[in-house]
Amino acid sequence: MEGTPIDAETTLSRTDRAVHGDLPEETVLLDVDAGMAVRLNPTGAWIWDQLGQPRRVGQLASGLAERFEIDEGRALGDVVAFAREMARRELLAAS
């Protein structure tokens, strides 16, 4: 997965490796294979929620920019960074 480039045209989807739960004021992913929990910040939680179905990085960045009222360039960088980290952990697939 580390060799997969991630850009605005990349489609992201959740893998079966993680289950998630919403706790008061935070979202936590449980990597069942590794037995590790990943706590998501509000940005990551929003992205994860949007990935209930596969979406392109560019679509996520546009929505993130609107939702959090940030520059679309920054939003794209945030989505790409999140996607790379979650792909590294094998919690997201990129195609």
Report the C-alpha gap between 58 and 88 in whole angstroms: 20
Please state whether beta strands 55-56 and 36-40 pair in parallel, antiparallel, or not at all (unpaired): unpaired
With a cut of 80, say whether residue 4 has pLDDT above it.
no
Q: Using one digit for the tens of pLDDT, what is the confidence trace for 35-91? A: 888 999 999 999 999 999 999 999 999 999 999 999 999 999 999 999 999 999 999
Per-residue model confidence (pLDDT) at position 21: 77
Q: Using one digit for the tens of pLDDT, what is the confidence trace for 22-31? A: 777 778 898 8
Radius of gyration of the chain (CA): 13
